[in-house]
């Protein structure tokens, strides 16, 4: 019997004034530490429910530092599906031929470069890592490919999250991010270390060597990344880090980052006002309220990255428009 590579998942967002979005995304199974999980992406939307064939699924991890969505499989039958155990954490070299698998189909792509883009798609976000790949084949509709697994030969290396129709390129999350979400104590917050890496000569941080003032060689991903990217991926609650600065060994503990706006996963409404967070802004953007989002992003661009902004939204039912205020 030929096993099925992927399945279709329905993501239904929370609603704002009876407005919501529904997406069909792809999912696939992996086994880690003898437990089978269903993996996909959430696109930073506030989630109301996840369903497969009208059956609601339980969420294990709805990551706030990445787009990774990990579902429990206790009420799912996966006997007919491929269970991926052969993972490769290293970012492939430019020019490497890769394969996207979805349903019974395989789409050939080529790794072009490694991209560093704000993790939450907003200007103030720490930059995360994407494998960027091109595709020469004609794609009738890329809808539903989000969450599809990407392979280098027979090894799982990443997950599709975005497709740029104009430039015909895919954005792929490294599979290492899935494992980091399973290993972390806290996937709800982002952390940083109180060290001045720009002025100090840091030669090693944990097991990762550093030969540049701004970059760390991440030996697992096999690429140089910025300190911010390192914090995003490796930072965790109460995690103590050993590093070497000016040939002296030191210790620091990760500190929770104060976000410009709250990084909550849910929509929060108090009386008739919504508390602005990244998930709410993402939902509004998907609802195509572009001018409204543009004005809010202008505020973020003018704000100090260390500020904490408290912004609320109010919906006017008569003119059907949102207004906001900064508290």
pLDDT at position 260 is 64
pLDDT for 301 equals 53
Domains of the chain (ranges, CATH numbers): 1-183 (2.40.10.120), 191-256 (no CATH), 268-326 (no CATH)
Is pLDDT at 130 greater than 90 in this prediction? yes
**Residue 40 Cα distances to 21, 37, 131, 227, 257, angstroms:** 17, 10, 16, 27, 26
Q: Which of 227-231, 250-254, 290-294 has the lowest mean pLDDT?
A: 290-294
Which is more confident, 47 or 290?
47
The answer on pLDDT for 316 being more than 70 is no
Question: Is 8 or 313 the better-scoring residue by pLDDT?
Answer: 8
Q: Of 261, 254, 165, 162, nearest to 206 (Cα)?
A: 254
What is residue 242's predicted lDDT score, i.e. its pLDDT? Answer: 84
Question: Across 49-63, 118-132, 140-154, 291-305, which has the greatest mean pLDDT?
Answer: 49-63
Q: Evaluate if residue 204 carries a pLDDT over 90.
A: no
Least confident of 61-65, 125-129, 203-207: 203-207
Cα 154 to Cα 167: distance, rounded to the nearest angstrom: 27
What pTM was estimated for this model as a whole?
A: 0.90
Of 150, 128, 166, 205, nearest to 30 by C-alpha is: 150
Q: Of 44, 232, 230, 218, give the one whose Cα is nearest residue 125.
A: 232
Which range has highest mean pLDDT (1-15, 121-135, 251-265)?
1-15
Instruction: Please tell me the predicted confidence (pLDDT) of residue 307.
Output: 54
For residues 325 and 102, which has the higher predicted lDDT (pLDDT)? 102
Residue 8 CB contacts under 8 Å (≥ 6 apart), including other chains: 24, 25, 26, 27, 52, 144
Q: How confident is the model at residue 193 (pLDDT cuts 50, 70, 90)?
A: confident
Structure confidence by residue, pLDDT tens digits, 65-111: 999 999 999 989 999 999 999 999 999 999 999 999 988 788 999 99
Given a contact cutoff of 8 angstroms between Cβ atoms, the answer to whether 4 and 149 are in contact is: no
Closest alpha carbon to 232 in 131, 129, 307, 126:
126
Give pLDDT, residue 249.
86
Cβ pair 25, 12 in contact under 8 A:
no
* pLDDT tens-digit series, residues 225-241: 988 899 999 999 999 98
Average pLDDT, the chain: 85
């Amino acid at each position: 019997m030929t096993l099925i590579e992927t399945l279709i998942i329905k993501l239904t967002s929370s609603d704002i004034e009876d407005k919501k979005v529904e997406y069909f995304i792809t999912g696939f199974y992996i086994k880690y530490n003898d437990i089978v999980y269903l993996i996909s992406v959430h696109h930073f939307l506030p989630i109301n429910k996840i369903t497969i064939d009208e059956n609601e699924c339980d969420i294990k991890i709805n990551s706030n530092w990445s787009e990774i969505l990990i579902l429990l499989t206790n009420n799912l039958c996966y006997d007919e599906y491929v269970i991926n155990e052969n993972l490769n954490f290293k970012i492939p070299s430019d020019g490497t031929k890769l394969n996207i698998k979805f349903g019974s189909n395989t789409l050939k792509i080529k790794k072009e470069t490694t991209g560093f883009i704000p993790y939450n798609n907003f200007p103030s976000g720490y930059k995360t890592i994407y494998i960027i790949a091109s595709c020469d084949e004609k794609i009738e509709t890329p809808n539903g490919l989000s969450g599809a697994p990407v392979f280098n030969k027979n090894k799982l290396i990443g997950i599709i999250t975005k497709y740029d129709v104009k430039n015909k390129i895919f954005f792929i999350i490294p599979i290492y991010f899935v494992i980091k979400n399973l290993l972390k104590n806290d996937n709800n917050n982002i952390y940083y270390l109180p060290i001045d890496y720009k002025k100090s000569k840091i030669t090693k941080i944990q097991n990762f060597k550093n030969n540049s003032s701004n970059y760390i060689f991440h030996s697992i991903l096999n690429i140089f990344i910025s300190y911010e990217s390192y914090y995003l991926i490796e930072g965790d609650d109460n995690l103590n880090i050993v590093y070497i600065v000016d040939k002296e060994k030191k210790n620091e503990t990760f500190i929770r980052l104060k976000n410009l706006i709250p990084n909550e996963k849910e929509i929060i409404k108090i009386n008739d006002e919504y508390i602005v967070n990244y998930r709410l802004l993402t939902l509004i953007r998907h609802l195509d309220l572009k001018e409204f989002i543009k004005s809010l992003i202008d505020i973020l661009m003018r704000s100090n990255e260390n500020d904490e902004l408290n912004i609320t939204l109010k919906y006017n039912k008569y003119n059907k428009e949102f207004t906001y205020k900064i508290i």
